Structure 1
Amino acid sequence: MGARDGLQNEKAAVPTAVKAEFVRRLAGTGLGTIEATSFVHPAWVPQLADAEELYPAVSDLPVALPVLVPNERGLDRALGLGARRVAVFASATESFAQANLNRTVDEALAMFGPVVTRAKAEGVHVRGYLSMCFGDPWEGAVPSPRW
């Protein structure tokens, strides 16, 4: 997920061709899985607004290319381009869930249910992430019952 996570944190938008070359070079190192992009609304992560252009530019690579899909609209966009691996991410803390998903933890989990169900029904591999398992910049240490 380094490509997607790193690129989304850049202050300025990186050109699509540069992103594609970056992903291709990562694939050349022998990595088996590279999360190249995310199908989030461009208003939330403008650095990844080019997902519809980037994914087809790297989809021929001989590596697994999961893409982050935060909701059913993101899943629709990914499936429309032939993505066969998707990822969803939840949070162990309310602060992170609000900051990154604009929802409570419970609301986010409810949002992912239909995404995962539909993806699996279509034979798409689904992976899940849990952010802020051990610590959160807003809430501090996270007690183990929350994760």
Structure 2
Amino acid sequence: MTPLLPLLANALALLPLAPLTVAKHVVCSWRPGIATPDKYGFNRFCSATSYTTTTHDKTTAEFKCKHLFEGNTVKPATWNVLGDGILEFASPCGMGGWFAEGEHAWCPDSSFAMCTDETHGDECWYMDKRDDCEWPTKFTVDTLPTSVELWYRRK
């Protein structure tokens, strides 16, 4: 046996005892201004509808829409999953990203806009292709938007 095998076996045996690390989620904070995304060269990707689920004492929501290029259903956002009242936007182009799915998706040099009300630019936040972020304000079941608008821009 090579000297590395016992070391590897010991390391694997201790793996279940290692603490789980959670990625730090940041609050959405970037916007080029308060105009609507189309004024900054963004194109509409989809309007993601909120689907709520209540189990025991907790209500959560998933925002889903059809992929603009592929036609499959994607989930760009969730609510009340990462923490109470948090609306979290998933990474568009990171591992398992909602925009990067399929053969026609294209992520190089892309950025994205997320809006809770597309008619008011101050209800939109922006992120780069591999980012994710949580909405700056928390929502309750009563204040949760029924849909969120997703936009993309290829540089």
- Please give the range of the TM-score, normalised by the shorter of the 2 chains: under 0.3
Query: Structure with the greater relative contact order (CA < 8 A, sep ≥ 6): 1 or 2?
Result: 2
Query: Which TM-score applies when normalising by structure 2?
Result: 0.25
Question: Larger Rg: 1 or 2?
Answer: 2
Query: Which TM-score applies when normalising by structure 1?
Result: 0.26
Structure having the larger proportion of residues in strand: 2
